[in-house]
A and B are shown apart, each in its own frame.
Chain A
Amino acid sequence: MNSIHPFPSPTSTPTGTRASRGLGVVVFLGMVLLTLLGLFFTDEDVVQGSTVRLMYIHVPTAWVAYLAFIVTALTSAMYMWGKQHSLTFDRIAGASAEVGVIFMGLSLVTGSLWGRLTWGTYWQWDPRLTTTAFLFITYVGYLAVRDLGGSHQQRAKRSGVVALLAVLEIPLVHFSVVLWRSLHQKASVLRPNGNVTMDGLMLFTLLFGVGVFTLLFTWMVLHRQRVLALADAIDDGGLEAALQERRNENN
C-alpha cells in the first residue's frame, strides 16, 4: 500500500532522476553558503548598514521571477509556433509561471521589509513597486487562465497568448525607476556605464545568490513540469475511461 508522507524525501520522488537529485544537493549546499555569506561573512554597507543583507535574497528572487516569466513566454511561443505543438513546452510554461509567481511574491515581501527599514514604510505606490505588484497579479491571472478547463491544447493556446502579452510588462517594471521618479534605487550592477561600486565580497555574494536561485528555479521547474505531465496523463486516462464507458453504453 502506498502512503503519502507529510515530508517526502526528495531522493525518492517519482519526478526525480540522478541528475535532478545531484542538482538538488548543489542547490541546498549553495543556499546554506549564501545564508552564511549574507548574514555573517559580508560587511555592513556604509550607508544602509546591516539592512543591505536583505539584498542577497531580494535581488535573486526578483531576478528569478523575471527569468521565469521570460521562460514562460519563450516556451509558449515554442508551443504555438513549433511544428509538433508539443505540450511539454506548455507544461514548462505553466511550471515556470507558477515558480515565478512564488518568487515575485517573495520579492515583494522582502522588498517590503527592506523598505520598512530604509524608507520607513512597508509600501508606497511608487512606480517600481506598483508595476511589480501589477506584474505579480498578471501572472496570478495567467495561472487562473490555465485552470479554466477544456482540452490540454485549448489550455496551451489560451495561456500562450496571455504569456506572450504579459511578458511585455517586464521592461516596464525594470525601467520604471528610470522612466519615472522612484523611491526605489536604480540598478547597482547592470549600469549603462558598467561602473559597479560594490565591495568585492558583497558583489560576489550577490552574484552567487543570483546563481544559486537560478539553479533552484531550474530544479523546481524540472520537477513541477513532470508533476504537470503526470496530472495531464491522469486527465487523459480519465477521458479515455469515460469514452470507453459511453461506447459500452451504446453497444
Chain B
Amino acid sequence: MDHVQFIVGGYVVTFVAVGVYVVRMLRQARKYNSAISDGDKPWR
C-alpha cells in the first residue's frame, strides 16, 4: 500500500479523536453522577 502514513494516519486521527471525546464524556458523567439523585435520571 502506498502513502501508508497518510492513509493509516487518517484512520488513527479519526479513532483517537472520537476516543478522547468519549472518554472525557464518560468521565464527566461519572463526576456529575455522584451529585445527582436517581430521580433526576429518567433513563434509569
Contacts and interface: CB of A to CB of B under 8 A. Distances in A.
Interface of A: 2, 4-8, 10, 13-15, 17, 31, 35, 38-39, 44, 49-51, 53-54, 57-58, 61, 99, 102, 105-106, 109-110, 113-114, 116-117, 216, 220, 223-224, 226-227, 229-231, 233-234, 237
Given A17-B44, A109-B13, 9 more contacts: A7-B23, A14-B32, A15-B43, A220-B25, A227-B29, A230-B29, A230-B36, A231-B28, A237-B36
Contacts of A7: 23
Nearest to A220: B22
Contact of B15 (A31, A220, A224): A31
Contacts of B11: 35, 38-39, 57
A-side binding surface: helix, strand, loop or mixed? helix
A237 B2 contact: no
Contact of B28 (A53, A220, A227): A227
B13 A10 contact: no
Interface string B1-44: 11100111111011101100111011111111111100011111
Nearest to A56: B11
Given A39-B7, A54-B10, A227-B29, A8 B40 contact: no
A233 B36 contact: yes
B13 A231 contact: no
Given A8-B27, A223-B26, A113 B43 contact: no
B41 A54 contact: no
Contacts of B6: 51, 54, 113-114, 116-117
B3 A14 contact: no
A102 B27 contact: no
A116 B5 CA distance: 12
A51 B29 contact: no
A61 B11 CA distance: 11
